[in-house]
């Protein structure tokens, strides 16, 4: 098997006494979008700078196509990579000259560089602003020019540090779509830094969760989002409900647990008697009127409880429940109205066993 | 008031008739200050980039020394250069005291901290992430400094105006190291001092007006370049 395009091995970045990054192993495969998800200060941007050779790690190896990059090779390899940041960071000249800049820096004659840059401005839908000065562009236009500038280079690996974060929702979505189509077409490897889990889910072929400078979990988004390996990852990827329970046994490939006095079935590989955390995404929790308790399907988990608080979440409503343990559900406004949800309303929180994922609960420190 | 009008008439006559001595003095002024400015830019811009972006021990001390040097009194520079170039001084063997070369040297010393200090401030005022972006786009260190200097061109033109204006107007140092020798080291400022001290106000005013016009032309030209492409 051919080696991955890029690989970090035992990489550490220390600033004085502080270790900002400690990554034992992280690979970037050809043609994939690897989303680096993590809270602020988790070391995402540092990781991106190390991976795109903008910063040398304090220790460890950065390996491209199986070759460990030495100090002497950094500059030449760096010229095969490119990075875009949250700000478009255009120079005070025309959009076209900006997009052509990286090619000009590599000695491509102006005419050729501008022709190629113009094609990329066209692909990103901003050819009409080619002659305008950067300062007169809107945020969305400027970010498109910035992406065209990077794509015109056809880099082996493109690093993106929250390039969509500062855009309004509409420009963000349309730029994400255009970018994804171009990336698929070019088959270019992309490392996308984001703190937005929706963006990681939407764009990432794989998601790497970074917590306190360490890679806590890497995998396809569906896996990371539904089967987080730790409570911290679960919180980050948005599985808001974390139930504590004890494994009673296993049946038909599912674990049977006792949670807050109720029987709960969930997915996992724990042994009977082990203490467990059951991770649930709020969109997987459905609410039913309390009166239906006798008629609910036993194929699902059913936890009776009361509404503690209702919080609007965009078009949806986040419902915080007390089912002997806190549970969060996301419901549409019409269904909240139909259920007559208010503080104190009795409801049943119901969810499929396959939506509930068990993690071992580490024993509390003595 | 008569004195001033006579001065202006005399100035116009001197300029329009192409008085050879006035032209010689004007040309030497431009040569000396222009050469000093050029040398100061050649040395000062890379130094400014190094101070703005480099990381080395003593950088802060050096930066504050440069900033303090922006107000260097010309007579102190004149004294220093005179001692350096004095026949028994460390650079006496060059035998350039009381020549335009000595004047260029002194004016370069005056302009260098101004160019370095203002250019350093101009570079530091740029978005600090721009440098990382240029590196990420594949710029070599030299390419990225060149691009950043170009990006700061508005402020750098102001730097050129400030340094150029200071040099054109400077009198103490050029007088001390040049000696105001007729046909050799006489420039507009030293000539004005001389004519004034001899009570020849018309000529002094004429020279002063030429000096003002030069300074104005320099600044008008650079301002036009600086404001070009700026939208109202």
Q: Which of B129, B138, B139 lies closest to A89 in CB terms?
A: B129
**Chain A interface includes B132 (CB < 8 A):** yes
The DSSP bridge pattern shows strands A206-211 and A33-37 to be parallel
Give tens-digit pLDDT for A305-345.
Answer: 999 999 888 888 999 999 888 899 999 999 889 889 889 99
Q: Which regions in chain B score pLDDT beneath 70?
A: 229-232
B137/A136 CB distance under 8 A: no
Q: Please give the pLDDT value at position A364.
A: 45
Residue A238's pLDDT band (cuts 50, 70, 90): confident
Count of positions (residues) in chain B? 232
- Dihedral sign (CA B147, B152, B154, B158): negative
pLDDT at A366 exceeding the cut of 60: no
Residue A111's pLDDT band (cuts 50, 70, 90): very high
A149 near A99, Cβ under 8 Å? yes
CA neighbor of B119 nearest in space, from B49, B66, B72, B166: B49
pLDDT at A261 exceeding the cut of 80: yes
B100 near B185, Cβ under 8 Å? yes
Mean pLDDT of A158-173: 87
Q: Chain B: nearest CA to A300, how far in angstroms? A: 52
Q: Which of B132, B138, B151 lies closest to A79 in CB terms?
A: B138
3-state class (DSSP) for residue A43: coil
Mean pLDDT of A159-188: 87
**3-state SS record for chain B:** CHHHHHHHHHHHHHHHCCCHHHHHHHHHHHHHHHHHHHHHHHHHHHHHHHHHHCCCCCHHHHHHHHHHHCCCCHHHHHHHHHHHHCCCCCCHHHCCCCCHHHHHHHHHHHHHHHHHHHHHHHHHCCCCHHHHHHHHCCCCHHHHHHHHHHHCHHHHHHHHHHHHHHHHHCCHHHHHHHCCCCCCCCCHHHHHHHHHHCCCHHHHHHHHHHHHHHHHHHHHHHHHHHHCCCCC
ipTM of the complex as predicted: 0.80
Q: Chain B: nearest CA to A89, how far in angstroms? A: 6
Q: How far lies B129's CA from each of A20, A84, A93, A100, A361, in Å?
A: 19, 11, 17, 20, 43
- Token reading at A234: 């679960």
Give tens-digit pLDDT for A23-68.
Answer: 999 999 999 999 999 998 899 999 999 999 999 999 999 999 999 9
For B129, which residue in chain A has the nearest alpha carbon?
Answer: A89
Q: Please give the pLDDT value at position A244.
A: 83
Cα distance between residue A272 and residue A250, in whole Å:
8
Cα distance between residue B81 and residue A309, in whole Å:
81
For B154, which residue in chain A has the nearest alpha carbon?
Answer: A92
pLDDT at A162 exceeding the cut of 60: yes
Cα distance between residue A69 and residue A67, in whole Å:
6
**Chain A interface includes B127 (CB < 8 A):** yes
B137/A101 CB distance under 8 A: yes
Mean pLDDT of chain A: 89
**Chain A interface includes B147 (CB < 8 A):** yes
CA neighbor of A162 nearest in space, from A194, A196, A191, A139: A194
Mutate to test the interface with B, among A78, A132, A153 (most CBs of B within 10 A): A78
**Which CATH number among 2.40.110.10, 3.20.20.70, 2.40.50.100, 3.40.1000.10 corresponds to the domain A239-360?**
2.40.50.100
Domains of chain B: 2-225 (1.10.3720.10)
B116 near B62, Cβ under 8 Å? no
A89/B150 CB distance under 8 A: no
Cα distance between residue A291 and residue B80, in whole Å:
98
Per-window interface: B 171-230 vs A, CB < 8 A? 229
The DSSP bridge pattern shows strands A241-251 and A275-280 to be antiparallel
The answer to whether A6-231 and A239-360 have equal CATH topology is: no
Mutate to test the interface with B, among A48, A105, A190, A191 (most CBs of B within 10 A): A105
Q: Which residues of B touch A79 (CB under 8 A)?
A: 138
A286 near A329, Cβ under 8 Å? yes
A183 near A190, Cβ under 8 Å? yes
Residue A362's pLDDT band (cuts 50, 70, 90): low
Highest mean pLDDT of the ranges A263-267, A295-299, B26-30: B26-30
A273 near A264, Cβ under 8 Å? no
**φ, ψ dihedrals at B196, nearest 5°:** -65, -45
Give tens-digit pLDDT for B190-212.
Answer: 999 999 999 888 888 888 888 99
Mean pLDDT of A264-280: 86
The rounded percent of chain A whose pLDDT value lies above 70 is 98
Q: Which residues of B touch A150 (CB under 8 A)?
A: 137
For tokens 């070391």, what's the residue? A43
Q: Chain A: nearest CA to B151, how far in angstroms? A: 6
Which H/E stretch holds residue A217?
Answer: strand A214-219
Q: Which of B138, B150, B229 lies closest to A78 in CB terms?
A: B138
A310 near A290, Cβ under 8 Å? no
**Start-to-end Cα distance in chain B:** 41
Number of neighbouring beta carbons within 10 Å of residue B35: 18
Q: Please give the pLDDT value at position A197.
A: 79
pLDDT at A189 exceeding the cut of 80: yes
A89/B127 CB distance under 8 A: yes
> In angstroms, what is the C-alpha Rg of chain A?
24
**Which CATH number among 2.60.120.1600, 3.40.50.10540, 3.40.50.300, 3.40.630.40 corresponds to the domain A6-231?**
3.40.50.300
This prediction's pTM: 0.77
**Starting at the edge strand that comes first in sequence, how are the strands of the sheet with A286-289 ordered?**
A286-289, A346-352, A300-313, A316-322, A326-332
pLDDT at A11 exceeding the cut of 60: yes
Cα A133 to chain centroid, rounded = 34
Q: Which residues of B touch A105 (CB under 8 A)?
A: 137-140, 143
Number of neighbouring beta carbons within 10 Å of residue B81: 25
The full set of domain ranges for chain A reads 6-231, 239-360
A102/B137 CB distance under 8 A: yes
- Token reading at A266: 């969930």
């Amino acid at each position: 098997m051919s080696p991955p395009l890029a690989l970090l091995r035992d990489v550490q970045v220390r600033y004085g006494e502080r270790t900002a990054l400690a990554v034992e192993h992280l690979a970037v495969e050809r043609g994939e979008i690897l989303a680096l998800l993590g809270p602020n200060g988790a070391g995402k941007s540092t990781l991106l700078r190390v991976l795109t050779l903008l910063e040398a790690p304090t220790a460890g190896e950065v390996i491209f196509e199986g070759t460990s990059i030495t100090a002497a090779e950094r500059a030449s390899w760096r010229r095969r990579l490119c990075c875009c940041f949250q700000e478009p960071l255009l120079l005070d000249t025309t959009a076209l000259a900006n997009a052509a800049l990286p090619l000009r820096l590599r000695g491509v004659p102006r005419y050729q560089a501008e022709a190629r840059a113009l094609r990329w401005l066209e692909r990103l839908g901003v050819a009409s602003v080619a002659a305008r000065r950067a300062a007169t562009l809107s945020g969305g236009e400027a970010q498109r020019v910035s992406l065209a500038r990077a794509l015109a280079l056809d880099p082996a690996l493109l690093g993106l540090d929250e390039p969509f974060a500062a855009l309004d929702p509409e420009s963000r979505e349309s730029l994400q779509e255009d970018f994804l189509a171009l990336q698929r077409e070019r088959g270019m490897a992309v490392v996308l830094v984001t703190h937005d889990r929706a963006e990681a889910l939407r764009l990432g072929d794989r998601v790497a969760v970074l917590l306190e400078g360490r890679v806590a979990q890497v995998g396809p988004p569906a896996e990371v989002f539904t089967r987080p390996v730790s409570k911290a990852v679960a919180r980050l990827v948005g599985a808001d409900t974390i139930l504590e329970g004890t494994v009673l046994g296993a049946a038909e490939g599912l674990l049977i647990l006792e949670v807050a006095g109720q029987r709960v079935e969930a997915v996992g590989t724990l042994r009977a008697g082990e203490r467990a955390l059951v991770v649930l995404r709020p969109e997987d929790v459905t609410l039913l009127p309390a009166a239906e308790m006798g008629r609910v399907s036993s194929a699902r988990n059913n936890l009776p409880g009361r509404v503690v608080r209702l919080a609007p979440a965009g078009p949806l409503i986040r419902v915080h429940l007390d089912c002997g343990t806190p549970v969060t559900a996301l419901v549409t406004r019409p269904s909240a109205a139909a259920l007559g949800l208010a503080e104190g309303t009795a409801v049943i929180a119901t969810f499929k066993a396959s939506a509930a994922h068990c993690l071992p609960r580490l024993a509390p420190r003595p | 008031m008569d004195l001033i009008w006579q001065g202006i008439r005399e100035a116009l006559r001197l300029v329009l008739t192409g008085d050879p001595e006035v032209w010689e003095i004007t040309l030497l002024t431009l040569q000396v200050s222009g050469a000093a400015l050029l040398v100061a830019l050649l040395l000062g811009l890379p130094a400014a980039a190094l101070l703005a972006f480099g990381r080395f021990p003593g950088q802060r001390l050096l930066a504050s020394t440069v900033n303090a040097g922006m107000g260097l009194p010309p007579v102190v520079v004149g004294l220093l250069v005179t001692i350096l170039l004095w026949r028994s001084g460390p650079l006496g063997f060059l035998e350039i005291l009381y020549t335009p070369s000595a004047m260029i040297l002194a004016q370069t010393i005056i302009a260098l901290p101004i160019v370095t200090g203002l250019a350093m401030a101009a570079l530091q005022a740029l978005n600090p992430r721009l440098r990382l972006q240029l590196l990420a786009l594949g710029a070599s260190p030299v390419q990225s400094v060149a691009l950043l200097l170009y990006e700061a061109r508005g402020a750098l033109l102001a730097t050129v105006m400030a340094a150029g204006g200071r040099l054109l107007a400077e009198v103490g140092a050029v007088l001390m190291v040049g000696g105001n020798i007729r046909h050799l080291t006489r420039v507009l400022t030293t000539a004005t001092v001389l004519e004034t001290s001899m009570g020849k106000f018309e000529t002094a005013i004429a020279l002063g007006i030429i000096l003002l016009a030069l300074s104005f032309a320099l600044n008008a030209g650079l301002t036009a370049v600086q404001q070009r492409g700026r939208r109202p």
